[in-house]
């Protein structure tokens, strides 16, 4: 009974420590529901200037020309130029800027060709993917390359240099704002699916929405907030802190902001409101906002990754009419259609004002803690094999001594029975704890991976299943803690009877247990309230 009481006392102490650590690791911010919804004046997303006779989609046949753009350092980027045939000049022109999901000169073909058929010259250059990875993205370098492409477009015969602007999607809108800050001859900017906020702030909106729609329990949603709070610098990811606010002030030209109402990755209302507010603070009220029944790629469907979907109804027509209207001189009051119109948006979560971290502030530290446990257990297993070989050799040596009749020498070593009992009392809890920790870690990270996959790939929501899985993991965490308490109590009782490699194994397994419990505390498995 005394031993059971000791184990229970150790387990309670560990539970208290881990629960306090779990509370201390909670982020000091959260992604809250968005309530300041934008007022949509009309359900019709069409854009028409009040007093201008403009060309419309399909009015002209188009031709394509393959170009090669020299962006320096011997690098040539392919590009596709599309022009309206027999359209009177000079003609407005538009440079396309890629987001994270596209990079080829053939991308945006349907949009660029539709614009060309409405009398607008379009240029789609490929995006250089050199040093463009998940870990690193050099937006200023891309802005320089697109600036070179802009010069090429402005130099095309028949292009109206005073009405040459840009079209950018998603991540490309960050590049567009840098480009706008770099040069002041951009006549207009059409920004589609713009993140607007810093990367980690925008991801707070996306991950909160994804996790909620996948049916993830609230603790898992809070875990995403913890991850977004971390310092990513050990692995790159500096672009997560791209200062979007600073560059928004460069939008002094007419701006068209377009979002798909099925886009759960972007702050579709908050972003439009911020662009209008920042532009107005700089004296620019020429911001038009349109919402379409489309997804992040402005395709007519809810699937983020679904290929082959058509463009949202009315999207290219609104885009072309706006560009041609701006080129025809339509001012803030020169439109027959309202400033904000289209499908009614419903942004679920707000982009946070801050994303400060908790007591684990670095992604590198978190990964180190998570990786330390299996590494320490692997080293302990290796030492255990060495200790086993040494023990077998020692027993064989003792048998040889006994066979030679040198019994007196056995008095200098601990009794074999006491030694083997001590070894058994340590080995069983240590390896038992190691197996339990490995199994618990596999289940935890497998569960998190399943929730992440369901969120990102928009699988069928499974709130009941995920909720049950989370509570099962919490029970497993308590089992791990009880096994740890049993192991620690066994070590304390038998510590004086072991030495050498066996003491090292105990220390390694204890360190692995600390890392495992700390990981579980980070993921909130001990926060039952």
Contact 330, 54 (CB under 8 A): no
How far apart, in whole angstroms, are the C-alpha atoms of residue 345 and residue 365? Answer: 39
Q: From residue 272, give the alpha-carbon distance in Å to each of 92, 275, 279, 407.
A: 25, 5, 11, 90
Q: Which residues pair with 159 in a beta bridge?
A: 91
Look up residue 238 and give its DSSP letter. G
pTM of the model: 0.80
How far apart, in whole angstroms, are the C-alpha atoms of residue 133 and residue 100? Answer: 10
DSSP string, 112-169: HHHHHHTT-EEEEEPPP-TT-SSS---HHHHHHHHHHHHHHHHTSTTEEEEEEEEEEE
CA-CA-CA-CA dihedral for 389, 391, 397, 398, to nearest 10: -160
Q: Where are the beta strands (DSSP E) in 487-527?
A: none
Domain ranges of the chain: 2-30+363-522, 62-198+242-342
Look up residue 297 and give its DSSP letter. T
pLDDT of residue 402: 59
pLDDT of residue 398: 61
How far apart, in whole angstroms, are the C-alpha atoms of residue 64 and residue 108? Answer: 13
Give the number of C-alpha atoms closer than 13 A to the C-alpha of residue 207, restricted to the C-beta side. 22
pLDDT in tens, the chain (529 residues): 788 888 889 899 998 999 888 888 877 667 788 899 999 999 999 999 988 789 999 999 999 999 999 988 778 999 999 999 999 989 999 999 999 878 899 999 999 999 999 999 999 999 988 777 777 788 899 999 999 999 999 999 999 999 999 999 999 999 999 999 999 999 999 999 999 988 878 877 887 787 877 788 888 887 887 787 787 776 767 777 787 778 899 999 999 999 999 998 889 999 999 999 999 999 999 999 999 999 998 998 775 556 678 999 999 999 999 999 999 988 888 899 999 999 999 998 888 876 666 677 788 888 898 999 999 988 888 887 876 676 677 767 666 665 666 544 444 444 444 445 444 455 666 777 888 888 999 999 999 888 888 876 666 677 788 889 999 999 999 999 998 888 888 888 877 777 777 788 888 888 999 999 999 998 889 876 5
Q: Which CATH number fits domain 62-198+242-342: 1.10.3720.10, 3.40.50.1820, 3.40.50.10800, 3.40.50.970?
A: 3.40.50.1820
pLDDT of residue 404: 62
pLDDT of residue 509: 87
Q: Which helix (H) or strand (E) holds 426?
A: helix 416-456
Residues recorded for the chain = 529
Q: Quick check: helix, strand or coil at residue 94?
A: strand
Contacts of 468 (CB under 8 A, 6+ apart): none
Q: Quick check: helix, strand or coil at residue 335?
A: strand
Nearest CA among 471, 470, 523, 453 for reference residue 210: 453
Contact 60, 117 (CB under 8 A): yes
What are the φ and ψ backbone dihedral angles of 384, each rounded to 5 degrees?
A: -65, -40
């Amino acid at each position: 009974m005394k031993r059971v009481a000791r184990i229970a006392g150790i387990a309670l102490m560990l539970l208290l420590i881990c629960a306090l650590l779990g509370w201390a690791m909670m982020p000091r911010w959260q992604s809250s529901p968005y309530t300041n919804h934008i007022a949509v004046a009309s359900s019709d997303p069409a854009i028409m200037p009040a007093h201008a006779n403009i060309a419309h989609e399909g009015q002209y046949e188009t031709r394509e020309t393959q170009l090669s753009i020299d962006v320096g350092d011997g690098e040539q980027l392919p590009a596709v130029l599309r022009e309206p045939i027999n359209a009177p000049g000079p003609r407005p022109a538009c440079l396309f800027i890629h987001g994270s999901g596209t990079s080829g000169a053939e991308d945006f073909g349907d949009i660029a060709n539709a614009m060309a058929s409405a009398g607008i010259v379009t240029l789609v250059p490929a995006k250089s993917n050199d040093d463009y990875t998940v870990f690193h993205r050099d937006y200023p370098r891309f802005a320089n390359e697109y600036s070179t492409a802009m010069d090429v477009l402005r130099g095309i015969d028949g292009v109206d240099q005073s009405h040459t602007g840009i079209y950018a999607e998603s991540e490309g809108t960050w590049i567009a704002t840098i480009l706008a800050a770099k040069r002041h001859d951009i006549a207009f900017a059409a920004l589609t699916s713009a993140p607007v906020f810093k990367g980690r702030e925008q991801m707070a909106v996306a991950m909160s929405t994804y996790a909620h729609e996948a049916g993830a329990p609230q603790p898992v949603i809070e875990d995403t907030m913890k991850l977004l709070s971390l310092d990513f610098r050990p692995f790159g990811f500096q672009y997560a802190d791209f200062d979007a606010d600073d560059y928004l002030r460069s939008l002094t030209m007419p701006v068209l902001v377009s979002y798909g109402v099925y886009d759960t990755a972007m702050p579709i209302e908050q972003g439009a409101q911020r662009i209008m507010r920042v532009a107005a603070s700089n004296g620019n009220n020429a911001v038009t906002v349109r919402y379409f029944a489309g997804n992040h790629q402005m395709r007519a469907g809810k699937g983020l990754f679904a290929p082959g979907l058509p463009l949202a109804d009315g999207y290219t027509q609104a885009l072309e009419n706006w560009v041609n209207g701006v080129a025809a001189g339509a001012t803030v009051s020169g439109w027959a259609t309202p400033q904000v119109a289209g499908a009614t948006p419903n942004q679920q979560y707000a982009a946070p004002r801050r994303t400060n971290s908790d007591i684990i502030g670095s992604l590198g530290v978190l990964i180190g803690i998570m990786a330390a446990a299996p590494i320490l257990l692997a080293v302990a297993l290796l030492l255990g094999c060495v200790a086993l070989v040494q023990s077998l050799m020692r027993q064989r040596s003792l048998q040889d001594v006994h066979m030679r009749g040198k019994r007196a020498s056995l008095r200098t070593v601990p009794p074999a029975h006491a030694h083997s009992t001590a070894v058994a009392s340590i080995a069983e809890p240590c390896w038992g704890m190691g197996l339990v920790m490995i199994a618990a870690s596999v289940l935890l990270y497998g569960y998190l991976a399943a929730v992440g996959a369901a969120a990102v790939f928009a699988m069928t929501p499974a709130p009941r299943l995920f909720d049950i899985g989370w509570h099962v993991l919490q029970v497993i965490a308590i089992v791990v803690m009880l096994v740890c308490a049993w192991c620690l109590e066994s070590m304390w009782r038998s510590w004086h009877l072991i030495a050498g490699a066996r003491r090292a194994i105990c220390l390694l397994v204890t360190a692995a247990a600390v890392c495992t419990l700390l990981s579980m505390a980070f993921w909130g498995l001990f926060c039952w309230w």
